[in-house]
Homo-oligomer: A and B are copies of this chain.
Amino acid sequence: MDHITIGAMAKINGVSEQALRLYDKMKLLQPSEINHETGYRYYNIKQCAQLDMIQYMKALGMNLVQIKECLDGKDIRKFTQILDMQKRNIEKQMMELHYAKQAIERSMESYRRYESAPEENTVIMEFIPQRRIFCYDTKINCYSYGMDYYEHILRSLKKNYVLHRLPMCYFCNVGSIMRKEYFQKKELLATEVILFVEDDFQPDDGIEVIPEGMYLCTYCYGFNKEEESLKLLMDYITEHNYEVKGDCISEILIEFPTFNNYDRSAFFKLQVPVKQKKKKII
């Protein structure tokens, strides 16, 4: 049978008629015969081979133009070149999906923590595993300027961030870090904003490792509560005779959609690594 109508051809190959018409127009696969009075397209069964090839190349992620080049070029070398390119392409896409998936999981985790978080103004001890952060020093104290300035700092982080080719999906879970010395002196001074990144980022320029350990934590809602909560944490440590072991991190667990289009509102987790000063040896 070498008189297959477009509908039949579509059916036996699992393609739509429109797709076949498109391939005709693009000269990817032209019917072996056209009735010039009616305009009807008729295919030959052997043309299925070409269609198989097209579908296979499509499955490899090639676009129609590339496929055309390949088939027109009549050069199998061209095909392998495109395969090579396509492979790198796919690896890149997989990387992106990988990051997106991690970001989603991180978001879900944050949401769960938000739902089961303790009350505000309570301090609790938590074990926190090792994490990695991307650190950006703004040289300006986050606590000495208002929210407007903070926005500008974030914009600058965003730029720096793109510069380091980090995937955009990490742009939740922002935070700031108050170095140990200032925290101990109860001085509200933090010049660095941070982003939590996955373990596949190697510690290098900008990437820092935060060690695992016991942390004293407190949770609060809203930017205006942050300073108050920090002071709470500082006082708690003095009162209960803890020793500060490292930097204090102010982590945004969830940032809420800004409903009114203006005010940022977020759920914070403040955390500082400690150990008991006068521990009894059992």
Chain A residues engaging chain B, CB cutoff 8 angstroms: 1, 12-14, 29-30, 32, 44-50, 52-53, 55-56, 58-61, 70-71, 74, 76, 79-80, 83-84, 86-87, 90-91, 93-94, 97-98, 100-101, 103-105, 107-108, 111, 147-148, 151-152, 154-155, 158-159, 162, 167-169, 171-172, 254-259, 261-264
Contacts and interface: CB of A to CB of B under 8 A. Distances in A.
Contacts of A45: 148, 151-152
Given A148-B45, A264-B49, A108 B80 contact: yes
A49 B258 contact: yes
A221 to B, nearest CB: 13
Contacts of A97: 90, 93-94, 97
A257 B105 CA distance: 43
Contacts of A167: 59
Contacts of A255: 49, 52-53
A23 B207 CA distance: 33
Task: Label chain A's interface by main secondary structure.
Answer: helix
A231 B255 CA distance: 72
A100 B152 contact: no
- Copies of this chain in its oligomeric complex: 2
Contacts of A70: 257
Given A45-B151, A76-B256, A97-B93, A169 B261 contact: no
Nearest to A93: B97
Contact of A104 (B53, B74, B90, B101): B90
A103 B257 contact: no
A52 B172 CA distance: 8
B59 A83 contact: no
Nearest to A77: B111
A169 B61 CA distance: 9
A258 B47 CA distance: 9
Nearest to A86: B104
5 contacts: A29-B261, A46-B258, A48-B154, A50-B261, A76-B256
B83 A171 contact: no
B111 A76 contact: yes
A46 B257 contact: no
A74 B259 contact: yes
A84 to B, nearest CB: 8
Contacts of A93: 97
A56 B257 contact: no
